[in-house]
């Protein structure tokens, strides 16, 4: 895997000459942040050796390099999901590549369902911890010490310093936000009402089908992570209408106006 990562990195470096320290993973319907990126350079996933291909509507499938508020950034416009049939190693492969490109901090976003009844569709939630309900994780298997330690610490999966910085910026901008625990669920079906009761009893405030694998690997690689979830719908048994991916993307796009302003300022400050 290490050789594959280096091959991907060498290809990217042959196409762009950038040195981003900050990366952003954009979830479903949250790709509008690319509109504020200056000096853009793009690479399609399909052109990068060993890179998976995004298959989900609302995920463009490209790396975008450029600047936001004067800071060099790398945006991942479209992610990979376990339910697409990829292995956990494939789902998280871009994080390994980002690390070798020099990225030190990652902002992970997603569209997800709300369990905490104080939330409503459109709420932006700072993630302060996660629950892994995938039944798998990307670190299973042989460990390569060139990448990270066999038994990584996960006591601060989302960097408290970054969370506090994000809170202060949200207050300055007048952006309302929540805070809570994100549960990663395998998908691709929307969870049943009984499952939501169980997940809520475990302490989750929101549930989605991504983010947790990327967070695990980023911590394994020694990167700082900030997670922001967009509550695009209330979970089954709480929401009174049936779920649809189209409604999720539509709600995410509305919330992305505040999210883009928020992330742009966070990038400027960190």
The token pair that represents 194 in the structure block = 């009984």
209 is catalytic: yes
Q: Kind of pairing, strands 224-234 and 124-133?
A: antiparallel
* pLDDT computed for residue 257 by the predictor: 85
The average confidence (pLDDT) of the chain is 93
* pLDDT computed for residue 56 by the predictor: 62
Give the structural domain span for 194. Answer: 2-269
What is the CATH number for 187? 3.40.50.1580
**Which among 143, 100, 142 has a CA at the least distance from the CA of 6?**
100
Pick the range with the lowest mean pLDDT from 70-79, 140-149, 253-262. 253-262
Among 45, 76, 81, 183, the one annotated catalytic: 81
Among 8, 116, 233, 256, the one annotated catalytic: 233
Contacts of 42 (CB under 8 A, 6+ apart): 62, 63, 64, 65
Based on the structure, what is the number of domains in the chain?
1
Instruction: Give dist(CA 173, CA 161) in Å, integer.
Output: 19
Among 170, 209, 229, 235, the one annotated catalytic: 209
For 173-197, what is the mean pLDDT?
A: 95
**Which among 58, 68, 23 has a CA at the least distance from the CA of 260?**
68
Among 137, 156, 245, 269, the one annotated catalytic: 245
Instruction: Give dist(CA 99, CA 12) in Å, integer.
Output: 13
- Report the percent of the chain where pLDDT is more than 90: 80
For residue range 10-69, what is the model confidence (pLDDT) as tens digits? 999 999 989 999 999 998 777 788 888 999 999 999 999 999 987 666 547 899 999 999
41 is catalytic: no
| pLDDT of 252 above 80 | no
Three-state secondary structure call for residue 66: strand
243 is catalytic: no
Output the CA–CA distances (angstroms, integers) from residue 103 to 19, 82, 100, 183, 227, in the order listed. Answer: 8, 23, 7, 25, 16
145 is catalytic: no
125 is catalytic: no
* pLDDT computed for residue 239 by the predictor: 77
The token pair that represents 82 in the structure block = 């376990």
* pLDDT computed for residue 146 by the predictor: 96
For 121-141, what is the mean pLDDT?
A: 96
Pick the range with the lowest mean pLDDT from 146-155, 156-165, 169-178, 230-239. 230-239
Instruction: Give dist(CA 149, CA 157) in Å, integer.
Output: 15
* pLDDT computed for residue 139 by the predictor: 98
**Which among 63, 23, 25 has a CA at the least distance from the CA of 212?**
25
For 113-138, what is the mean pLDDT?
A: 95
Q: Kind of pairing, strands 206-208 and 105-114?
A: antiparallel
Other residues' Cβ atoms within 10 Å of the Cβ of residue 70: 8
Among 59, 82, 96, 229, the one annotated catalytic: 59
The token pair that represents 35 in the structure block = 């509109």
54 is catalytic: no
Residue holding tokens 């302003």?
A: 261
Cis peptide before 188 (omega within 30 of 0): yes
83 is catalytic: yes
| pLDDT of 181 above 90 | yes
Name the range with the highest mean pLDDT among 52-61, 212-221, 254-263.
212-221
* pLDDT computed for residue 91 by the predictor: 96
210 is catalytic: yes
**Contact (Cβ atoms closer than 8 angstroms) between residue 120 and residue 205:** no
**Contact (Cβ atoms closer than 8 angstroms) between residue 119 and residue 231:** yes
**Contact (Cβ atoms closer than 8 angstroms) between residue 152 and residue 121:** no
Among 84, 191, 195, 214, the one annotated catalytic: 84
* pLDDT computed for residue 45 by the predictor: 95
């Amino acid at each position: 895997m290490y050789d594959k990562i280096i091959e991907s990195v060498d290809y990217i470096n042959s196409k762009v000459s950038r040195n981003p320290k900050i990366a952003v993973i954009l979830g479903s319907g949250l790709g509008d942040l690319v509109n504020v990126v200056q000096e853009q350079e793009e690479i399609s996933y399909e052109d990068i050796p060993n890179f998976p291909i995004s298959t989900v509507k609302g995920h463009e499938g490209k790396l975008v390099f450029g600047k936001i508020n004067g800071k060099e950034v790398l945006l991942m416009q479209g992610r990979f999901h376990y339910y697409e049939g990829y292995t956990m190693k494939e789902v998280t492969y871009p994080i390994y590549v980002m690390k070798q490109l020099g990225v030190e901090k990652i902002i992970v976003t997603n569209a997800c369902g709300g369990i905490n009844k104080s939330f409503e569709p459109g709420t932006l939630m700072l993630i302060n911890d996660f629950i892994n309900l995938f039944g798998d994780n990307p670190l299973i298997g042989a460990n390569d010490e060139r990448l990270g330690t066999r038994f990584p610490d996960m006591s601060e999966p989302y960097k408290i310093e970054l969370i506090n910085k994000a809170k202060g910026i949200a207050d300055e901008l007048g952006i309302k936000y929540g805070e809570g625990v994100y549960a990663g669920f395998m998908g691709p079906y929307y969870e049943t009402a009984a499952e939501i009761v169980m997940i809520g009893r475990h302490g989750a405030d929101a549930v989605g089908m991504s983010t947790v694998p990327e967070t695990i690997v980023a911590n394994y690689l020694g990167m700082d992570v900030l997670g922001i979830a967009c509550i695009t719908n209330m979970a089954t048994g709480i929401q009174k209408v049936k779920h649809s991916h189209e409604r999720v993307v539509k709600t995410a796009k509305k919330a992305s106006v505040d999210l883009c302003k928020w992330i742009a300022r966070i990038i400027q400050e960190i």
